[in-house]
């Protein structure tokens, strides 16, 4: 049995903070520790108590004064878009057609996919992201490359072969039948193997025929435990085109509902321009609205309405959406999410943002019993964050007195340089 005691300043969330001063929503121990045994957290709390509960001869690693937290979770990211980030376009549809659909075609090549799987996880881990829900490309082999590398590294990853059978280059389309067959093959090969989770992944309504959305709905019924990921109401031209393609639908959300794709397992990327009816339908289904702030700003898509989303009782998540997004960092993502809410006169407390990026995103994925917290029984995917990572941060930290101030500094000024250590299932990740 391997046991390891991480000493540090420990932060772990119990529930969504209702307000800035909702101290009951989290555990914070300034002199804290996390005990790891066999890849799982077996105790977490005050150092003296956790030390007493530790086996004799336990390895102690002192990370003070760093902040020990559950690893970040990125619930919407595109594995084949590392070389799409920073592509100059007027809007979503121009960006997709000019750059994204060109780049994704390269993932037909197994060597290319294998090379990028390594680079992708290197980059996620460098940024302290220990779990992601990723879109692969339309090619089955891209999902194989993704999961093979995740398995090699013992990562808990969610991924899906993208289903898309129209309105895209020939080389990037499947059919309703082959999308169904290939997704089933990916599920059979990878779901539940190691720590892998496969997601049913119809890209969005524009690139799927009604027959393909029907096939995706069939997969969802056949595999009710699987996540479903897609895009919803990101851009006005996208919405108008979708309603032309699906005239029988009441609105964009209804397109997915009509095909059995609006469920408690559904992750709806963007979800920006929604009517009250759509928000009510999403809330009733228990689906998740995934805010992608850096992407929404970069592509000029719109300002996510977090206040209304919460008022309607819609479940939420926050994500990078690389390569529409401009940073792999969940700290940068939290910062941009905060600024978008500032523009909407909605004040977003840093404690809520840190909850969202950890436990909140784990709840969105239905995985909060395994990741997203430091609670005993959780997988030991842990990061150590440094609020003094740069000269400018060090100077600012001289005046910081509270946890809230430190978290706000981390999200406002921090990036990958603040991620000092990463543990996956209790093992330290080395660059
Ligand atoms: N809508 C459909 N595909 C995509 C994509 O790859 N990125 C973003 N941001 N939106 C999409
Ligand atoms: Zn996306």
Per-residue pLDDT tens listing for the chain (431 residues): 589 999 999 999 999 999 999 999 999 999 999 999 999 999 999 999 999 999 999 999 999 999 999 999 999 999 999 999 999 999 999 999 999 999 999 999 999 999 999 999 999 999 999 999 999 999 999 999 999 999 999 999 999 999 999 999 999 999 999 999 999 999 999 999 999 999 999 999 999 999 999 999 999 999 999 999 999 999 999 999 999 999 999 999 999 999 999 999 999 999 999 999 999 999 999 999 999 999 999 999 999 999 999 999 999 999 999 999 999 999 999 999 999 999 999 999 999 999 999 999 999 999 999 999 999 999 999 999 999 999 999 999 999 999 999 999 999 999 999 999 999 999 999 86
Which is the closest atom of ligand 1 to the Cα of 299? Answer: 9
Distance, in Å, from the CA atom of 160 to the CA atom of 228, rounded to the nearest integer, reads 9
Nearest-CA neighbor of 272 among 237, 309, 228?
Answer: 309
Mutational test site, ligand 1, from 92, 236, 271, 291, max ligand atoms within 8 Å of CB: 92
Atom 11 (ligand 1): residue with closest C-alpha? 231
Query: Which atom from ligand 1 is nearest to the alpha carbon of 234?
Result: 10
Kindly state if the Cβ of 204 falls inside 6 Å of ligand 1.
Answer: yes
Q: What is the distance in A from the centroid of ligand 1 to the CA of 301?
A: 11
Q: For the chain, what is the largest distance between any 2 Cα atoms, rounded to a whole number of angstroms?
A: 68
Q: Which ligand is nearest to the CA of 134?
A: 2
Q: What is the pTM of this model?
A: 0.98
Q: What is the DSSP letter of 12?
A: E
pLDDT at 431: 64
pLDDT of residue 292: 99
Confirm or reject: Cβ of 321 under 6 Å from ligand 1.
Answer: yes
Q: For residue 231, report the distance from its CA to the centre of ligand 1, in Å.
A: 7
Q: 232 φ, ψ to 5°?
A: -145, 130
Q: Distance, CA 277 to ligand 1 centroid (Å)?
A: 24
> Which atom from ligand 1 is nearest to the alpha carbon of 321?
9
- The residues near 226 (Cβ < 8 Å, ≥ 6 apart) are 187, 191, 197, 198, 199, 200, 219, 220, 265
Is the CB–ligand 1 distance for residue 76 below 6 Å? no
**What is the rounded CA–CA span in Å between residue 203 and residue 72?**
24
């Amino acid at each position: 049995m391997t046991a390891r005691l991480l000493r540090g300043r420990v932060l772990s969330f119990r529930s969504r903070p209702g307000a800035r001063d909702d101290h009951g929503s989290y555990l914070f121990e300034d002199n804290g520790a996390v005990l790891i045994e066999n890849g799982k957290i077996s105790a977490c709390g005050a150092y003296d108590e956790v030390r007493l509960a530790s086996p004799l001869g336990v390895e102690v690693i002192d990370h003070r004064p760093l902040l020990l937290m559950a690893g970040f979770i990125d619930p919407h990211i595109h594995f084949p878009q590392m070389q799409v980030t920073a592509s100059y376009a007027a809007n979503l549809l121009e960006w997709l057609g000019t750059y994204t659909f060109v780049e994704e075609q390269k993932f037909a090549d197994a060597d290319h996919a294998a090379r990028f799987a390594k680079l992708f996880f290197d980059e996620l881990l460098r940024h302290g992201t220990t779990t992601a829900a990723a879109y692969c490309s339309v090619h089955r082999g891209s999902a194989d490359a993704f999961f093979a590398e995740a398995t090699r590294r013992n990562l808990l990853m969610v991924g899906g072969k993208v289903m898309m059978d129209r309105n895209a280059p020939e080389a990037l389309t499947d059919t309703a039948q082959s999308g169904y067959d290939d997704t089933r093959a990916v599920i059979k090969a990878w779901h539940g193997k190691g720590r892998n989770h496969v997601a049913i992944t119809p890209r969005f309504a524009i690139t799927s025929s009604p027959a393909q959305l029907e096939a995706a709905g069939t997969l969802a019924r056949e595999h009710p435990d699987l996540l479903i990921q897609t895009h919803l109401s990101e851009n006005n031209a996208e919405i108008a085109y979708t309603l032309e393609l699906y005239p029988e639908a009441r609105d964009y959300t209804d397109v997915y509902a009509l095909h059995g794709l609006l469920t408690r397992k559904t992750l709806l990327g963007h979800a920006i321009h929604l009517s009250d009816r759509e928000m009510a339908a999403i809330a009733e289904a228990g689906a998740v609205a995934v805010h992608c702030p850096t992407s929404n700003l970069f592509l000029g898509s719109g300002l996510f309405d977090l206040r209304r989303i919460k008022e309607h009782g819609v479940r939420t998540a926050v994500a990078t959406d690389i390569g529409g997004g401009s940073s792999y960092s969940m700290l940068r993502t939290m910062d941009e999410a905060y600024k978008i809410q500032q523009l909407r006169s909605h004040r977003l407390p840093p404690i809520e943002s840190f909850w969202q990026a950890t436990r909140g995103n784990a709840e969105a994925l239905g995985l909060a019993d395994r990741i997203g917290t430091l609670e005993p029984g959780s997988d030991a995917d842990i990061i150590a964050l440094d609020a003094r990572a740069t000269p400018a941060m060090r100077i600012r930290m001289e005046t910081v007195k509270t946890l809230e101030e430190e978290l706000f500094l981390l999200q406002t000024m921090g990036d990958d340089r603040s991620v000092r250590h990463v543990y996956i299932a209790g093992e330290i990740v080395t660059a």
